[in-house]
Amino acid sequence: MQAKAQADGIRELVDVRLVTKEHLDIRMAELRNDLATVKNDMLRWMVGGFIAQSALIIAVLSLMR
């Protein structure tokens, strides 16, 4: 009786903490999607910053003439 109760307790603990390959594959796909989104956002900000910086340099150079 006591051994069964202990086995059930251990089984519940393992079931809660166990990660299957399918679960891991799903989570990895989500992370890849998140990373792609971050990459696109960073690229958009970098291009926008480059354009703003170029416009500022052109404006300053045109004022210097």
19-57 tens-digit pLDDT: 788 989 999 999 999 999 999 999 999 999 999 999 999
Residue 5's pLDDT band, with cuts at 50, 70 and 90, is confident
Hey, CA dihedral for 46, 47, 52, 58, is it positive or negative? positive
Q: Checking phi first, is residue 22 left (phi over 0); if not, alpha (psi -120 to 50) or beta?
A: alpha
> What's the pLDDT score for residue 58?
97
Whole-angstrom distance between the N-terminal and C-terminal Cα of the chain?
Answer: 94
Number of independent structural domains in the chain: 1
Instruction: Pinpoint the alpha helices (H) of 1-65.
Output: 2-17, 21-64
> What's the pLDDT score for residue 11?
82
Phi, psi for residue 41 in degrees, rounded to 5:
-65, -45
* Structural domain boundaries, residue 22: 2-64
